[in-house]
Amino acid sequence: MTKRKALSPPPAGAKRRSFTRDFKLRVIREVEAGKTQAEVARAYQLTDHTIAKWRRQHRRYKEKAFAGHGHAYTDDARVSELERKVGQLTMENDFLKKLLQKLEADQ
């Protein structure tokens, strides 16, 4: 049994890597095509955990996964989207109520 080296923290000022949506989808496709997650992780110098997280996000959010600058589509984004829709529908509903009242008053 070999000992694993302890990971040292990255040097100060080092930037985190960011990956494009296309890259993440390519990695996911390779795993789904039959390669093991460990093989793909070694080939792209990623961790198993990173690939597992990307696969989980892709399963959960489908085509909306990895929208934006490499960030996952989140529940917060979905909540914001639904709140905007509720506001829009409320305005339409109020407009139609006023229109109906006006039509009833004219008759």
Map out the domains of the chain as residue ranges.
18-72, 74-107
Q: What is the pLDDT of residue 81?
A: 87
Length of the chain: 107
CB proximity list for 82: less than 8 A, separation 6 or greater: none
Q: How much is the mean pLDDT over the chain? A: 85
Question: pLDDT tier at 56 (50, 70, 90 boundaries)?
Answer: very high
Above 90 in pLDDT, residue 94? yes
Closest CA to 57 of 38, 77, 39, 43: 77
The CATH number that domain 18-72 falls under is 1.10.10.10
What is the arithmetic mean of pLDDT over 23-43? 94
pTM higher than the cut 0.75 = no
